[in-house]
Amino acid sequence: MSSFKPNQVFPRLAPGATPAPKSALSIYNPTYLGLDTRGKPVRVGMPYRNILIGGEPGAGKSVAQGNIVAHAALCTDVDLILIDGKIVELLPYAPVAEEFVGNDMRKALRVLRDLQGDLDERYLHLARTGRKKIVPGDGFRAKLLCIDELAYFTVTVGTKDQQEEFRILVRDVVARGRAAGIITIASTQRPSADIVPTSLRDLFGYRLAFRCATDSSSDIILGTGWASQGHTAVDIEPEALGVGLLRAEGGFPRRIKTALLEDEQINQIVRRAAHLRRAA
Ligand X SMILES: Nc1ncnc2c1ncn2[C@@H]1O[C@H](COP(=O)(O)OP(=O)(O)OP(=O)(O)O)[C@@H](O)[C@H]1O
Binding residues for ligand X (CB under 6 A): 55, 57-63, 189, 210, 241-242, 257-258, 260
The answer to whether the annotation marks 55 as part of a ligand binding site is yes
The answer to whether the annotation marks 47 as part of a ligand binding site is no
**The dihedral sign for the CA sequence 169, 220, 101, 146:** negative
The answer to whether the annotation marks 56 as part of a ligand binding site is yes
Contact 128, 138 (CB under 8 A): no
The answer to whether the annotation marks 22 as part of a ligand binding site is no
The answer to whether the annotation marks 60 as part of a ligand binding site is yes
Q: Which own/partner contact pairs does 242-245 have at CB distance under 8 Å and 24+ positions apart? A: 242/34, 242/60, 242/63, 242/64, 242/210, 243/1, 243/60, 243/210, 243/211, 244/53, 244/55, 244/59, 244/60, 244/64, 244/208, 244/209, 244/210, 244/211, 245/208, 245/209, 245/218
Tell me how far, at minimum, the Cβ of 269 lies from ligand X, in Å.
16
Tell me how far, at minimum, the Cβ of 228 lies from ligand X, in Å.
25
Beta carbon nearer to ligand X, 68 or 180: 68
Beta carbon nearer to ligand X, 60 or 181: 60
Cα 127 versus chain centre, distance: 28
Tell me how far, at minimum, the Cβ of 58 lies from ligand X, in Å.
5
Beta carbon nearer to ligand X, 32 or 47: 32
- Within a 10 A sphere around the Cβ of 37, how many other Cβ atoms? 12
Beta carbon nearer to ligand X, 145 or 150: 150
Between the CA of residue 216 and those of 31, 103, 167, 232, 245, what are the distances in Å? 29, 29, 22, 9, 14
CA-CA distance, 207 to 57, in Å (whole number)? 17
Backbone phi, psi, residue 148, to 5° = -130, 100
Tell me how far, at minimum, the Cβ of 152 lies from ligand X, in Å.
10
Beta carbon nearer to ligand X, 24 or 91: 91
CA-CA distance, 159 to 154, in Å (whole number)? 9
Beta carbon nearer to ligand X, 50 or 258: 258
Tell me how far, at minimum, the Cβ of 267 lies from ligand X, in Å.
16
**Which residue number has the CB closest to ligand X?**
242
- In degrees, to the nearest 5, what angle opens at C-alpha 90 toward C-alphas 67 and 240? 50
Tell me how far, at minimum, the Cβ of 235 lies from ligand X, in Å.
17
CA-CA distance, 117 to 139, in Å (whole number)? 16
Binding-site residues, in ranges, read: 55-62
Binding-site residues for ATP, in ranges, read: 55-62
